[in-house]
Amino acid sequence: MAAISDEERQALIELAGEARRRAYAPYSNYAVGAALRTKSGRIYTGCNVENAAYPHSMCAERVAIFKAVSEGEREFEMIAIVTSNGGSPCGGCRQVMAEFGLDTLVLAADEQGRLTMETTVGALLPGAFTPKDLVR
């Protein structure tokens, strides 16, 4: 992975913060924004979208990833996630991120844009089940 500057990190965090402001979270009141940068340099944002039927809600990270995939992207460089307290991605999001690469950089920040965590998908999900684990 190419070196990523502090300015690039902060710019992605700011985009995730903007996406967070569009979150629809009337039940949990836990707004989340994500910004995903692909290896081609394109950026896709997402916010969490809740539903009264709770299982049908969608996390911000998956919204951004699914938007990228729907546009033909499959290789991701880094994703920034912004929450009120700099929370970490849920297990479901970790698994979806693992599908597209364990070396993807994960940045978590709080609502003030302060970085609270920098890691990789592989570190967030040790022993991840990935496409290589499927018998073909």
Active centre residues (catalytic): 61
CA 59 to chain centre: 9
Contacts 24+ apart (CB under 8 A), 126-134: 128/94, 128/95, 128/98, 128/102, 129/95, 129/98, 130/98, 130/99, 130/102, 131/99
**Where does the chain show beta strands of DSSP type E?**
33-38, 43-47, 76-82, 105-109, 115-120
